[in-house]
Structure formats: C-alpha cells, structure tokens
C-alpha cells in the first residue's frame, strides 16, 4: 500500500504543479486584459489589439487550478470539530479523519462518473467552448481524471488511516 500511496502522491504533486502554472497563467491573462483595456487609449498601437476569449481562458484556467489542486489537498483539508474531539487520542482522531476521507472517496467517485458521462456526451455532440473553440470533452475528461485521482488517494489514505490509526503525511 505504501508504494501505491507514493505513486499517487507523486501524481498529485504533478497535478498540483500544473494547478500552480494554471494559476500563474490566469494572473498573466488578467494583467494582459487589464493593460489592453485600460491603457490601450494611451499607448499608440495597443488600442487596435483585440483579444477574444480572455474571460473564457480565465474560466478554464481556474478550473484547471481548482481540479488540479484538489487531489493533493484531500487529506489536508479535513476539519474535525475540536469541541467533540479535543480529548481523543491521536489514533482515534486519525481514524475519524480517515472515515471522512472514505466519504470523500465516495463523493469523488460520483463526481468522476458524472464527469465521464458528461465528457462522452460532449464528445458525441462535438461541443466546444464558445470563444476559443476548445472541445468540452477534453475539459471534462481532465476534470474527471483529477476527481478520479482524488477518489483513489482519499480511498487509500482513508483505508490506511483506519487500519493503522495514523494520519498520512505526503
């Protein structure tokens, strides 16, 4: 199980890096859009530049950033109410946390299934984004892959936590 978790952790790190790049790209697109809109009248030649699909690019870069970061943060984002758990031992806390991770695995599996069906439907219909004409099936399959990784990581981390009573540290 340790080797599987190591592979899943590394894959989640790659997606986290991709999410970071998408976030930086999103900021660059916003800055370019602001400069072109606000300073186009003052800088000669800039007012004639028209970039279409900026809002759409930001929208899908945000999706990549969010979906890519979710598998990495699955075991780090648990909130356990301190009022009820403050006097429990560390193994019991780990098992409670792991139980909720198994719930995240079930939720992630449902999301993955729905996104795959949506991607197949978009592929069959040839649906694209309005401005940039990016096939929606790619967007939905990428998001489904991220949710599938979230599902598998949450399942294995939760299972390991319930069995061993230890929190997973990636």
Q: pLDDT digit string (tens) for 135-148?
A: 999 999 999 999 99
Give the mean model confidence (pLDDT) for residues 52-79.
Answer: 87
78: pLDDT strictly greater than 80: no
Is residue 1 very low, low, confident or very high in pLDDT (cuts 50, 70, 90)?
confident
3-state secondary structure the chain: CHHHHHHHHHHHHHHHHHHHHHHHHHHHHHHHHHHHHHHCCCCCCCCCCCCCCHHHHHHHHHHHHHHHHCCCCCCCCCCCCHHHHCCCCHHHHHHHHHHHHHHHHHHHHHHHHHHHHHHHHHHHHCCECCCCCCEHHHHHHHHHHHHHHHHHHHHHHHHHHHHHCCCCCC
Q: What is the pLDDT confidence band of residue 84, given thresholds at 50, 70 and 90?
A: confident
**Reported confidence tier of residue 131, pLDDT bands at 50, 70, 90:** confident
Are 157 and 75 within 8 A, CB to CB?
A: yes
pTM: 0.84
Q: Which two tokens stand for residue 13?
A: 């790190």
The confidence score (pLDDT) of residue 18 equals 96
């Amino acid at each position: 199980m340790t080797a599987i978790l190591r592979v899943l952790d590394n894959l989640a790190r790659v997606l986290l890096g991709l999410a970071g790049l998408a976030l930086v790209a999103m900021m660059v697109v916003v800055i370019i859009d602001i400069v072109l809109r606000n300073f186009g009248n003052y800088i000669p030649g800039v007012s004639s530049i028209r970039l279409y699909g900026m809002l759409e690019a930001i929208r899908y870069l945000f999706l990549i950033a969010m979906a890519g970061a979710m598998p990495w943060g699955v075991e780090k984002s648990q909130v356990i109410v301190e009022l009820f758990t403050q006097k429990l031992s560390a193994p019991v806390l780990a098992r409670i946390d792991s139980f909720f991770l198994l719930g995240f695995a079930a939720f992630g599996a449902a999301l993955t299934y729905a996104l795959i069906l949506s991607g197949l439907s978009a592929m069959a219909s040839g649906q694209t984004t309005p401005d940039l004409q990016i096939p929606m099936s790619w967007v939905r399959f990428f998001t489904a892959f991220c949710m599938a990784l979230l599902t598998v990581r949450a399942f294995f981390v939760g299972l390991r936590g319930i069995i061993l009573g230890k929190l997973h540290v990636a």
